[in-house]
Amino acid sequence: MEQESGVTAQLCLPLAAAESVPTQSESHRRAARCAHCGAPVHLPVWLKETGVCLHYCGADCRQAWARTEESFAVRLDGRHGRRRRGGNWQIQAREARYRDECRCQECGITEKELGQRLHVHHRIPYRRFHSNVEANKLEHLISVCPACHQRLEARLRTEMPLFAADPR
Q: Look up the domain containing 148 and give its range.
A: 81-159
pLDDT one-digit tens code per residue, 13-51: 444 433 444 444 544 566 777 877 878 887 777 766 666
The model's pTM is 0.50
What is the model's pLDDT at position 126?
A: 84
The verdict on 85 and 148 lying in the same domain is yes
* Residue at 141 is within a domain: yes
Of 68, 92, 110, the residue that ends a domain is 68
What is the model's pLDDT at position 50?
A: 67
* Residue at 165 is within a domain: no
The verdict on 63 and 85 lying in the same domain is no
Q: What is the CA radius of gyration of the chain?
A: 23
pLDDT one-digit tens code per residue, 96-118: 999 999 999 999 999 999 999 99
The verdict on 61 and 92 lying in the same domain is no
The verdict on 62 and 88 lying in the same domain is no
More confident residue, 79 or 19: 79
**Which letter, b or e, does each residue of 97-107 get, where b requires 16 or more Cβ atoms within 10 Å of its Cβ?**
beebebbbbbe
Q: Which residues pair with 8 in a beta bridge?
A: 2
Number of structural domains found in the chain: 2
The verdict on 97 and 64 lying in the same domain is no
What is the model's pLDDT at position 8?
A: 45
More confident residue, 54 or 124: 124
